[in-house]
């Protein structure tokens, strides 16, 4: 709470059992506890001693989705491991909104990458772009139509990935952002490792001055999306 209080004027609460939720407030789970929600009240239980790792985000998201349905919003940001990747599937299955931080903008990209691999993300973007999206969703009375419109277009991708896909679109007239990001990303990371480039931003800058590498990336990406091209008229 001391760290968060430097960045917000909202009240910050450490959760106590059977605590009612209030608007414009932040709630922190106490150590060694499990957090659930029912009828918009927070409930705590002690963690059990066992050998497998705790997944507190997955657990809370499951109960959260059950409790508020399409009003649920799940956000996965910088972090290690895969916690949250199962929980966002519960939120998406209840017609809630799922946002994931773009891996290239995250200090620790394990959680964002695991979440992206579920293919349940509605938006993949930088933290700076999230507030406007959240406000737009919250202000829309028809959440289902809002999410359907996003899904019909494509998962929204921000940050360096947006610049990279725009470059490929401009050069080859193929919109790779319409395909599963996790699949495309594996080919992209392979090219980056071969050239010893660490970030997507640096790789995109390299591509702007290297038509041969851009062509090679394009050919590598075509290999993994041939099934997609059979189903989508992206060359028209």
For residue range 17-73, what is the model confidence (pLDDT) as tens digits? 999 999 999 999 998 899 999 999 999 999 877 667 789 999 999 999 999 998 999
Q: Which helix (H) or strand (E) covers residue 114, if one does?
A: helix 110-116
pTM recorded for the entire structure: 0.70
Q: Does residue 226 carry a pLDDT above 70?
A: no
DSSP state of 54: P
User: What gap in Å lies between CA 133 and CA 99, rounded to an integer?
Assistant: 9
pLDDT computed for residue 87 by the predictor: 96
Among candidates 87, 20, 21, which has minimal Cα distance to 54? 87
DSSP state of 74: E
Q: Does residue 95 carry a pLDDT above 80?
A: yes
Burial class (CB within 10 angstroms; exposed 0-12, middle 13-18, buried 19+) of 128: exposed
Query: 167 versus 62: which is more confidently predicted?
Result: 62
Model confidence band, residue 228 (pLDDT cutoffs 50, 70, 90): very low
Tally of helices (H runs) and strands (E runs) in the chain: 10, 9
Average pLDDT of the chain to the nearest whole number: 85
pLDDT computed for residue 56 by the predictor: 92
Model confidence band, residue 210 (pLDDT cutoffs 50, 70, 90): very high
Mean pLDDT value of segment 173-190: 77
119-165 residue pLDDT tens:
888 888 889 889 988 988 888 888 888 887 776 655 566 666 777 88
Joined together, the tokens standing for residue 29 give: 């789970």
Model confidence band, residue 229 (pLDDT cutoffs 50, 70, 90): very low
User: CB atoms < 10 A from the CB of 147, how many?
Assistant: 19
User: CB atoms < 10 A from the CB of 191, how many?
Assistant: 17
């Amino acid at each position: 709470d001391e760290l968060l209080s430097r960045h917000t004027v909202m009240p910050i609460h450490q959760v106590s059992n059977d605590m009612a939720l209030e608007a414009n407030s932040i709630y922190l789970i106490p150590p060694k506890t499990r957090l659930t929600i029912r009828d918009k009240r927070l409930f705590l239980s002690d963690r059990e001693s066992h050998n497998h790792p705790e997944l507190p985000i997955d657990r809370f998201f499951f109960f959260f989705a059950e409790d508020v349905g399409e009003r649920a919003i799940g956000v996965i940001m910088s972090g290690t491991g895969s916690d949250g990747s199962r929980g966002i599937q519960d939120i998406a299955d209840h017609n809630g909104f799922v946002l994931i931080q773009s891996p290239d903008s995250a200090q620790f990209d394990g959680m964002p990458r695991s979440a992206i691999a579920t293919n349940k993300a509605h938006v993949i973007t930088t933290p700076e772009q999230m507030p406007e999206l959240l406000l737009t969703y919250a202000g829309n009375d028809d959440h289902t139509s809002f999410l359907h419109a996003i899904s019909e277009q494509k998962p929204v991708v921000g940050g360096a990935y947006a610049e990279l896909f725009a470059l490929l679109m401009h050069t080859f007239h193929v919109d790779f952002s319409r395909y599963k990001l996790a699949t495309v990303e594996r080919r992209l990371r392979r090219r980056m490792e071969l050239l010893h480039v660490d970030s997507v931003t640096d790789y995109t800058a390299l591509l702007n001055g290297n038509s041969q590498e851009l062509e090679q990336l394009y050919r590598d990406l075509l290999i993994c999306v041939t099934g997609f091209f059979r189903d989508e008229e992206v060359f028209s």
